[in-house]
């Protein structure tokens, strides 16, 4: 089997992963120290889900997942977060249920995902 050229099949996924990483890095930075001020409460909390952030490094050239990817050879892939908090139409937190619930206020809508899968979506920047 011949090795693929360095750029073959890697340009789009790397760019997509970089965008997702930047988005989620900003989310993590903005959610690191929530306070009890009324403006800091989430509008919506999605919890008890299987959230895949897709922020782990590229697989090796032979297709093995990166060592920091949420994968092991016995059980396979597993989620790396369980909750998402949204405020003002923006994701402000991705992580554990308890971390998301720390952002809940009196008017926060809380939705149980009952183990449903959540993955990052694509946004069309041309509209």
Q: What is the CATH number of the domain that holds 24?
A: 2.30.40.10
The domain containing residue 25 runs over which residues? Answer: 11-118
- pLDDT of 25: 53
Residue 119 has pLDDT above 80, yes or no: yes
**Beta strands per DSSP E along 2-116:** 44-47, 50-51, 71-72, 76-77, 83-87, 90-95, 109-112
- pLDDT of 121: 76
Asked if residue 127 is part of any domain, the answer here is: no
Asked if residue 22 is part of any domain, the answer here is: yes
Asked if residue 125 is part of any domain, the answer here is: no
pLDDT tens readout for residues 33-59: 444 455 789 999 999 999 999 888 999
**Total number of domains constituting the chain:** 1
- One-character DSSP codes across 8-20: TTTHHHHHHHHHH
pTM, entire model: 0.63
Asked if residue 110 is part of any domain, the answer here is: yes
pLDDT tens readout for residues 62-82: 999 999 999 998 999 999 999
Q: In terms of pLDDT, which residue wins out, 125 or 32?
A: 125
């Amino acid at each position: 089997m011949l090795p693929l050229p360095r750029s073959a099949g890697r340009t789009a996924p790397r760019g997509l992963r970089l965008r997702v990483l930047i988005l989620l890095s900003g989310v993590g930075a903005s959610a690191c120290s929530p306070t009890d001020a009324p403006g800091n409460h989430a509008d919506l909390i999605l919890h008890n889900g299987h959230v895949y952030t897709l922020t782990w490094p590229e697989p090796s050239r032979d297709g093995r997942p990166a060592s920091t990817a949420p994968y092991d050879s016995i059980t396979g892939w597993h989620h790396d977060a369980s909750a998402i908090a949204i405020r003002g139409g923006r994701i402000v937190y991705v992580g554990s249920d308890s971390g998301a619930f720390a952002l809940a206020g009196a008017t926060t809508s809380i939705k149980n995902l009952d183990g449903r899968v959540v993955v990052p979506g694509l946004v069309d920047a041309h509209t």
